[in-house]
Amino acid sequence: MSAPVSAAQPDAVRRKVEAWLAEADQADAIALRARPEPMPEPVITIGGTRVRVVPCPTPLAARAALHDRVDGERLVLLTELADSELGDGVLAHLSKQTVRKIDPWDVVRQIFGGVRHLDPTLVRVGRWVADALTDHAPPDGWPAPPGAVLTRDHALRSLTSELLDLPPTELDDSGLVQWSTDARRQLRFTTLPDTVADGITTYLTTTAGRVAVPVMAAVRAGQGVDVIPLGLLAGLLWPTTTSGTSEVEAAVGRTRLEPWFGGLRLTLQQAEALHQTAEAWIYRTFDSGEEGRDEAVRLLRRAEAIAGEIGVTGLLGASTVLPSGFVQRLRAFSDAVRLAVPAGGSPVPGTISRAQTALAAVEAHRAAERRRLETARMAVRLLRWLHTTDGPAPATLLDALHRQVRQDGWVDRARLDIFAGDPDPQVAEAYRLLHRAVDARRSRHDQQFATLLAAATSAEAEPGALLRVEDVLDRVVQPIVEEGRRVLMLVLDGMGVAAATELAESITRSGTWVELTHGGGPRTGVLAALPTVTEASRCSLLSGRLATGGQQVELKAFRERFPAGRLLHKKALRAGAGAALDPEVLSALGDPAIPVVAAVINTIDDALDRSDPGTAVWGHDTVTAVDDLLASATDRVVVVVSDHGHVVDRGPESVILPSASSENRWRPASGPAGDAEIPVTGSRVVLGGGTVVLPWREEVRYGPRKAGYHGGAAPAEAVIPLLVLTAGDDLAVPGWAGAPVASPDWWREPVTDAVPASTDTPTSGRRRPRRLVQPQPEGLFDLAPVSAAPAPAPPVPAVPDLVTALLGSDRYAQRRDPRTPLADDRVAALLSTLISGGDRATFDTLAARSGVPAHRINGTVTALRKMLQVEGYPVITLDPDGRTVHLSRDLLIEQFELEPR
């Protein structure tokens, strides 16, 4: 008797019979060497021929099968017997008078379209491949190989694609991880014999890399749908650097995670590959749309749940994608904020750098919540401001107004975010401490402003360079009209300086609109009428003189001032269905005979009553009327002002004082002023009989509680922002030019903890040379008298020797473009700023430090990059954030043949 053989696979038997029938052999039966075991289907039909499969363990069983054969039916005898054991009488009835082998590779050739040759490396993989290709052939057959040889890769790729229900082009790491999210497609793989599953996994390592082993192990363990969450945790449990308690926790977690991989102990390389692929899936899916974001968040939460099950939640802070990691990083940041808040007014050296580093860790987290992240950024900005030296009190009301426009208004913007806070109690406590420190300094500034306001109001002094609300039509709008330009004046009721900084950024971000300032200098502001309420200040603005009244008074006064102009209140701006603006509004904006169109927009003021102005971001997309009007007014100069600002409700911190009236932020002078109040008298006090008591502390109110208030003497209420905009033409208004970067240094630039800077000047940590601004010529928008103190110029960084050598080199002289020259002093300022910033600087910093108008810095940097890019080498590049410029100092030295310095 011959040696034992393996059982026949049903598909292999069928394929062998198909080949036998195709030979046109007239024999009634075929004998196949196989273990004589019953088939699942003893009778099969092939091409209309019934074929019965009979196990024949003995010669007698073979004779009986042949004897009992039904006419028209053919036989397949499965036997382990040799020819000699069957005997000549049986062999005479068999195909080729012998027992034929079921060569699995012959079957493979057949099912791949009769391919003649097999790749030897395919055969060496093992018989399991042939059996699997036979057993799992798709109904439409396997795809034909590209040549005459069935290669190992073609066969295994086709088999793997079929068993995983995954297109052949997706048998890579990303495709495999995506496949793991579908439990239905994993079922077939989990039922495969171990030899096949192991072989498929081994092949996948050649197409998907090391990630294949842990993925397929998790699938076989019934945890396939958790592959991505497990991968996210793998980066924490197999860290590249470990130490102390974290390593112990990670080691315990690795042991507890092994059952999720069917007992497999992952290598560091496998864990790292799984982690990188899982994170890449999260990034890709999160950016794919709302549905993708929901799925990504679900798996992130699942990862955190698994972390809880295996007791490794303490490691989540190291994750750049898990939400708990963001919270832990934010808490670490809040600890740094608490340490950096000046104690007793004295900043502790080194603490602000640690806070900035902690913020960078929060920003690096991919699951960072946008609102909470922006609040953290505001916290660092406020810390920088607190770490500057508070200069002496302003000498004049104009100085105090400019401090609000150029410094404290930005503080107010950041302070509103900090006041809104964070839902995490630990973070909230840090913000509370920070807000208290900011409030202490801001309160001093508010009192100084209110004192100067009261003194200037009672003195009835000439305004000089100070622009008052009743002067805006005469000193801003009328000169534009006299130059033949039409004006759109947007009056955003209730908009303070803080809101205006957001609005200006939003409008100018796309580059369509350019901000102008007087002589290209820093922004100025407008002083509201008193008390700072709509009835007094807006009426005075639209009348061109001090006045009080409502809309009808405003309409009448505006028509008297501009007979051909149009004043539009809320009702006039409303349109019917399908239209953003009323057709009459559009007609007025496009009418060349209407020199001035003024539109009152109540969005911000309405929020003081019915929503939360402290958490709103005021941009052209939230104040939609601004966006709609600007879209229809590109041929007009746009003047954006308000009638007054506002303060927000302080909740439990509010102080309610008694008053004989129901006004929220002013009262008649029927009693003496308290510590938080100041009496104000003079012709610019247009209510209360010319004398009122105004609170200067922001938390004080008299009337009922609302979301926000106005009427008082705080600069957040009394200083009106002024923005002048044109559609891309910075020469549209004679006497005015493209505005410089408006934000202060501490707003946009990281600072060191060396010597605190002063907020009085744009310097940061050291004294910088100043140069005087040339006196402005008389004419349009002549706001400042000749005797006014000159404004400081942008700081000029010290020129390094390297820059001096560059400007004196022959190659630099050859690279200068005579058609569009970039002045040497401008090049020196740009490069010096980059070098002083560690070879990096944002566009805003470059613009501020080199004296380039904000809207021109992109073009200026492009010109610099072109000039320094010798033979295509990128001396100047832009970082992926799209706003940070990088200097390659080594390339600069090499390309211009400079001596290293």
pLDDT given for residue 4 in this prediction: 61
Cis omega (within 30 of 0) for bond into 59: no
pLDDT given for residue 3 in this prediction: 52
What SS3 string covers 306-337?
Answer: HHHHCCCHHHHHHCCCCHHHHHHHHHHHHHHH
Question: How many Cβ atoms sit within 10 Å of the Cβ of residue 31?
Answer: 27
* Helix (H/G/I), strand (E/B), else coil: 238: coil
Distance CA 614, CA 420 (A): 7
Identify the residue with better confidence: 621 or 547: 547
pLDDT above 90 for 613? no
Q: For a pLDDT cut of 70, what percent of the chain falls above it? A: 91
**Span 521-545, average pLDDT:** 97
pLDDT above 80 for 397? yes
Torsion of CA 826, 828, 833, 837, to 10 degrees: 150
pLDDT above 50 for 177? yes
Write the single-letter amino acid at 372.
Answer: R
Distance CA 171, CA 195 (A): 20
Distance CA 333, CA 339 (A): 10
Q: What pLDDT band is residue 350 in, cutting at 50, 70 and 90?
A: confident
pTM exceeds 0.95, yes or no = no
Q: What pLDDT band is residue 6 in, cutting at 50, 70 and 90?
A: confident
pLDDT given for residue 611 in this prediction: 59
Residue 518 near residue 669 (C-beta atoms within 8 A) = no
pLDDT digits (tens, 9 = 90+) for 566-605: 999 987 776 666 666 778 888 889 999 999 999 999 888 7
**Span 813-840, average pLDDT:** 83
pLDDT given for residue 863 in this prediction: 86
Distance CA 697, CA 704 (A): 17
Residue 821 near residue 792 (C-beta atoms within 8 A) = no
Distance CA 294, CA 15 (A): 48
Length, in residues, of the chain: 901
Distance CA 522, CA 791 (A): 8
* Helix (H/G/I), strand (E/B), else coil: 570: helix
Residue indicated by tokens 């919270």: 327
* Degrees, nearest 5: CA angle 88-94-95: 130
pLDDT digits (tens, 9 = 90+) for 753-796: 544 444 543 333 333 333 333 333 333 344 433 333 334 444 55
pLDDT above 90 for 57? yes
pLDDT above 80 for 608? no
**How does DSSP assign 249-304, residue by residue?**
HHHHHHHHHGGGGTT----HHHHHHHHHHHHHHHHHHHTT-HHHHHHHHHHHHHHH
Scanning 165-226, the segments in alpha helix (DSSP H) are 173-179, 183-190, 194-207, 212-220
3-state helix, strand, coil in the chain (%, to 5): 50, 15, 40
pLDDT above 90 for 867? no
Look at residues 356, 385, 289, 369 and name the one whose alpha carbon lies nearest to residue 321. 369
Which residues lie closer than 8 Å to 48 by C-beta, 6 or more apart?
A: none
Q: What pLDDT band is residue 208 in, cutting at 50, 70 and 90?
A: very high
Q: What pLDDT band is residue 147 in, cutting at 50, 70 and 90?
A: confident
pLDDT given for residue 769 in this prediction: 33
Phi, psi values for residue 564, rounded to 5°: -95, 5
pLDDT digits (tens, 9 = 90+) for 302-327: 999 999 999 999 898 888 889 888 99
Q: For 872, which DSSP code? A: G
Phi, psi values for residue 721, rounded to 5°: -70, 155
Distance CA 332, CA 326 (A): 10
Distance CA 383, CA 342 (A): 8
Q: Which of 74-78, 115-119, 243-247, 763-767 has the highest mean pLDDT?
A: 74-78
Residue 746 near residue 383 (C-beta atoms within 8 A) = no
Residue 415 near residue 375 (C-beta atoms within 8 A) = no
pLDDT given for residue 270 in this prediction: 95
The mean pLDDT value of the chain amounts to 87
Phi, psi values for residue 819, rounded to 5°: -75, -40
Cα 802 → chain centroid: 37
pLDDT digits (tens, 9 = 90+) for 104-146: 888 888 888 878 889 999 999 998 998 899 889 898 889 999 8
Burial 225-251 (b: 16+ CB within 10 A, else e): bbbbbbbbbbbbbbbeeeeeebeebbe
pLDDT above 80 for 899? no
Identify the residue with better confidence: 695 or 753: 695
User: Which two three-digit tokens encode residue 473?
Assistant: 């039509």
Distance CA 403, CA 398 (A): 9
Residue indicated by tokens 């926790």: 249
pLDDT digits (tens, 9 = 90+) for 272-306: 999 999 999 998 998 888 888 899 989 999 999 99
